[in-house]
Each structure stands twice: as C-alpha cells, then as structure tokens.
Amino acid sequence: MVGNTIHSIEQNKLPEEFKIITIDSLEDVANSISTMIIRGAPAIGAMGVFGLAQAIHNMDKPNEEKIIKVRDILFKTRPTAYDLQHGLDYVMSKILSESDPDAIKRIARDSAQSYVDASAEACRKIGVYGDTLIKDGDKLLTHCNAGALATVDYGTALSPMRIAHENGKNIFVFVDETRPRLQGAKLTAFELHQEGINHAVIADNAAGFYMARGEVDMVITGTDRVAANGDVANKIGTYEKAVVAHENGIPVYIAAPISTIDFTCPTGNDIPIEERDENEVLDVNGLRVASQGSSALNPAFDVTPAKYITGIITEQGIFNPGELKKINQGGDSDIG
C-alpha cells in the first residue's frame, strides 16, 4: 500500500504477463479477492487488512457501524481462507475502542501495515524451520501455489524449499498442475523457475505414480485453515495426495503461519468450504473442454484429517497436528 492506493500483482495474468494493478475502492478490493486476482490465504489476509484501512480512510467520519459493514463485505469474499478473518479481526481490535475519526484512520493504516509485515516475517521463519526437514538431494511434492504470490513474501510451502535452495541443497520439486485453476502449473512453476529450483509440472493424477515408485521424499503444502484438532483445509486434491503419501510411508508437512490456525474451529468438519463457479471445471483457460450441456461441481478445498499429517511448520517451530495447543497464540508479534 502506497499512500492510500493498494498495488497488487494480477495473478490471473501469470505466467504470460506480469502486471501490477492499482486498487482504490472497496468494490475493487472485494473483486480482487473473489476473482482471485490475489489469492492464497495469507495474501488474501493482507489484501483484506489493506482494503479495510483504505475504506476507513475514504470514509467521512468513520464509526463502528460503517466499519463493521466494510468488514462484513470483505469477510464474505472467500470463506475458507482463515487469514482473512484473522487479519480483519486484528485491525478491528485496534480501532474499535477509538472514537476520534483521524485516530481511527491512522491506527487502521498502521495496524494493517504491522499485520502485513509480521505475516512476511512469519513466512520467513517457516522457511528456516522447514529447511531443517529437507536433505540435500530430496525430491519434494507440492500442490497448488503456496509461494510468495500466495503470501506477502517467501511463501509457506515454498519458503522451506527457497531457503534449502539458498543453503546450497540440491532439491527437486514435483509440481501438481492443480486443476481446475492450474495454480501449480501457472504460479508455482513460475516461482520455482524464477528461483532456479529444479522442478517438473505433473498432471494431478500422476502424483501417486511417483510416490509408489519411491521418488517422492516429502509432501509439503500450504493450507487455508487449520482446525484446532489439526485437520487441515487446502486446495482440492490435497486430501488425496496425503492419503496416497501415507499409504507409501511418505511424510506430509503442512506449512502455515499461526494466522491460518482457527483455534475456535474444533474439527475439519466445521471448516466452511468454498464452492466456485462450475465454469472453472468445464473450461480450461476460458475454452470449453467439457461436453456442452454437462454441469460441474467445483469445491475449491478439501479437508485432510490430522492423522495423515506428519507435522505443521509454523513460525514458532514444527508441531505435531495433535499438539497445536502448545502454540503461543500471542506469538512473537501480536498478530499470532
């Protein structure tokens, strides 16, 4: 955010075009999240807090009623990504005791910026902890995009890979293409290519083939919401990868800042799962591939039960999914 303008990469244009767009209104902020111009749970959280701060700045005499209306509009844009709710709650907690309009505007702006800075630092630390799991020569598999594009910087699942690579480890990444929107083929492959990390895009259906042949040492993905019992919602297809990994004795790590853990959500069954437009499944890149006249079902996320997860890599260290209660929710920064 520069001044009161939000700048964002237009992720729907990648990898063909690297375009930065400017966002000046609440409508555009909400649209950028729901149409996935910006996507990935921590990045959605960052857009949410900047969007709230921008809307408050643009208000004539901000008050609780007007601010809650904005929060509610943003909150509905993508229901599974917990970082959005977490970020909005954080900024709201800083401003609701204030009554002076200028102070509200200033605190909203400052708290949104500190939230975003702390989110970037959390992802860097995830990389440092996650790197300790990666050995020279390891072959890793990831699903969807949990890289810098999906966060403020570094990424979650891609942060350990990035740091392992910086530390001179020779790694290889199997990148699931991730139908229907192809975040793996379009975004993860783009990021790994930029970083010079060896990788290959594979059809989603090929992951089990490589796992069964003993070619995958570890699965690392991000998540949109972790329930208190360690169940994890992530991009549709993650559940299948985790079950097949478990069957083949391959460890499955989920990388997530603490802002993605919903301690108020008891289990994965309580996580709201976003359903998206059927045309994302019926079409590829806007071209119809399914038979005309057919309809489609398009859940954007699925839930991987905690029993399939080896560990959750956070900015406070690596936790067994059953021991999330050990996490200090205040954290190193107050966004935890």
With contacts defined by CB under 6 A, name the span among 113-121, 150-158, 285-293, 307-315 that binds ligand MRU: 150-158
Distance CA 312, CA 270 (A): 19
Determine the residue with CB nearest ligand MRU: 222
Judged by CB under 6 A, which of 8, 32, 77, 151 binds ligand MRU?
Answer: 151
Nearest to 312 by CA among 223, 242, 246: 223
Nearest to 161 by CA among 189, 192, 120: 192
Q: Which of residues 55-114 bind ligand MRU (CB under 6 A)?
A: none
Task: Assess 222 for contact with ligand MRU (CB under 6 A).
Answer: yes
Minimum CB separation of residue 128 from ligand MRU in Å reads 16
Task: Assess 156 for contact with ligand MRU (CB under 6 A).
Answer: yes
Task: Assess 311 for contact with ligand MRU (CB under 6 A).
Answer: no
Minimum CB separation of residue 114 from ligand MRU in Å reads 20
Q: Which of residues 171-210 bind ligand MRU (CB under 6 A)?
A: 183
Judged by CB under 6 A, which of 54, 234, 259, 304 binds ligand MRU?
Answer: 234
Clarify whether 110 is annotated catalytic. Answer: no
Backbone angles phi, psi at 141, to 5 degrees: -125, 135
Task: Assess 262 for contact with ligand MRU (CB under 6 A).
Answer: no
Sign of CA dihedral 296, 300, 306, 312: positive
Residues near 168 by beta carbon (within 8 Å), at least 6 away in sequence: 136
Indicate which residue of 204, 224, 262, 302 is catalytic.
224
Judged by CB under 6 A, which of 153, 176, 191, 224 binds ligand MRU?
Answer: 224
Strand (E) or helix (H) holding 189 = helix 189-195
Judged by CB under 6 A, which of 53, 67, 122, 144 binds ligand MRU?
Answer: 144
Strand (E) or helix (H) holding 287 = strand 287-288
Q: How does 25-49 read in b/e, with b if 16+ C-beta sit within 10 Å?
A: ebebbbebbeebbbbbbbbbbbbbb
Nearest to ligand MRU of 108, 191 (CB atom): 191
Q: First vs last Cα of the chain: how many Å apart?
A: 22
Task: Assess 126 for contact with ligand MRU (CB under 6 A).
Answer: no
Q: Which of residues 10-49 bind ligand MRU (CB under 6 A)?
A: 39-42
Strand (E) or helix (H) holding 172 = strand 172-176
Task: Assess 125 for contact with ligand MRU (CB under 6 A).
Answer: no
Backbone angles phi, psi at 144, to 5 degrees: 65, -155
Nearest to ligand MRU of 104, 313 (CB atom): 313
- The secondary structure of 8-54 as a DSSP string is EE-GGGTTT---EEEE-SHHHHHHHHHTTSS-SHHHHHHHHHHHHHH
Minimum CB separation of residue 226 from ligand MRU in Å reads 11
> Tokens 């790694």 identify what position?
171
Minimum CB separation of residue 166 from ligand MRU in Å reads 19
With contact defined as beta carbons under 8 Å apart, do 157 and 164 qualify? no
Task: Assess 216 for contact with ligand MRU (CB under 6 A).
Answer: no
Nearest to ligand MRU of 32, 151 (CB atom): 151
User: Which residues here bind ligand MRU, judged by CB under 6 A?
Assistant: 39-42, 144, 146, 150-151, 156, 183, 221-224, 234-235, 300
Could you list the active site residues?
A: 224
